[in-house]
Amino acid sequence: MQNTDSADSWNQEGSITRSGDRTVGFAEYGRRTGTAVLWCHGAPGSRLEPRRVHERAFEADFHIAAADRPGYGLSNPQPGRTISDSVEDGLAVLDHLDIERFYVVGVSTGGAYALACAALVPERVLGVVACCANTDARHPPAREAMHASAVRAVWDAPDRTRALETARRALGEDGSKLLNVFELSPSDLALFGDPTFLAGVPAAIASQFAHGVEGYTDDRIADRNGWTTFDVSNVRCPVLVLHGSADTVVDVLNAHYTARIVPGAKLRIVEGLGHLSIFSEIVPALADLRSAVDARLRT
């Protein structure tokens, strides 16, 4: 386990062992005494994703825990896993950290995992931010809007072996094609002129593809038939659906549909931001959600 402490930041990495000797990697960011947040990363993604909001999380008094889904980072692949299965890994990490109640952030593909968590353990989840998130793949317009070779072709593969081959062609076994797959918005492209952002890219890609494309492929297999292993009508906590109007990776129509089907969800569209640049709004969204929940608890 690695630990870093300073006057203005703190982060820690580790792993736990689940049944079948399966390893689940995790990392923590922000302030260790802050409000607990479970972070569900995108696809591809890993426990390193919240590094981009680490300092803001500290300043806003949040403690973020991010778990590698199976097939990413330090976590062993788990062929056949469902969205609900991977929620159990995140909950196991929180149990390991002695966290009972928490908020959840779900980024891109991780949005489904965040909402599943709220639906499956509503007594533990205080609120959800679904950021630049894919919606239920059973919604035809959203399904059609997803990338043809990197998403829909993997969904349409007849079995896992073919799905893996399709993902390799699209992304490269080591992620070498990732940055050339999607056409990014101007606000996303501007990030590549930021030395701090660029410095984190190599480690992020290495972690995302630590097991080749297995994690990504299993994510696509898990969500290709839609949200069938959880029911969003069971979500009881406040939900903020956050999206950039200029997102070219996950079209904003996904956000509109999610806000329509999740009980009581509020929609926040930020003009001009894309799939990567929307990260600047995550901690403020969390802070607003926490304030709303605190006010409700006081009444």
pLDDT in tens, 202-220: 999 999 999 999 999 999 9
Read off the pLDDT of residues 75-107 as tens digits, 9 standing for 90 and up.
999 999 999 999 999 999 999 999 999 999 999
Is residue 13 domain-resident? yes
d(CA 110, CA 69): 10
**pLDDT > 90 fraction of the chain, expressed in percent and rounded:** 93
On whether residue 45 sits in a domain, the answer given is: yes
**Tell me, what's the pLDDT at 69?**
98
Range of the structural domain that residue 154 is part of: 2-294
Q: How much is the average pLDDT of 138-146?
A: 98
CA of 118: how far to CAs of 6, 19, 41, 106, 202, in Å?
33, 23, 16, 11, 32
CATH number at residue 18: 3.40.50.1820
Other beta carbons less than 10 A from residue 109's beta carbon? 25
pTM: 0.95
Residue 41: inside a domain, yes or no? Answer: yes
**209 part of a folded domain:** yes
- Please check the confidence at residue 266 and state whether its pLDDT lies above 60: yes
Inter-residue contact 17 to 23 (CB < 8 Å): yes
- Domains in the chain, number: 1
Query: What is the SS3 assignment for 245?
Result: coil
Asked whether residue 287 is domain-assigned, the answer is yes
Q: Is the pLDDT of residue 10 over 70?
A: no
Distance, in Å, from the CA atom of 116 to the CA atom of 74, rounded to the nearest integer, reads: 23
User: How far are the Cα atoms of 31, 57, 82 from residue 34, in angstroms, in the given order?
Assistant: 5, 9, 31
What's the token pair of residue 73?
């980072």
The answer to the question of residue 86 being in a domain is yes
pLDDT in tens, 107-132: 999 999 999 999 999 999 999 999 99
- Is residue 299 a part of any domain in this protein? no
- Does 177 map to a domain? yes
Q: How confident is the model at residue 178 (pLDDT cuts 50, 70, 90)?
A: very high
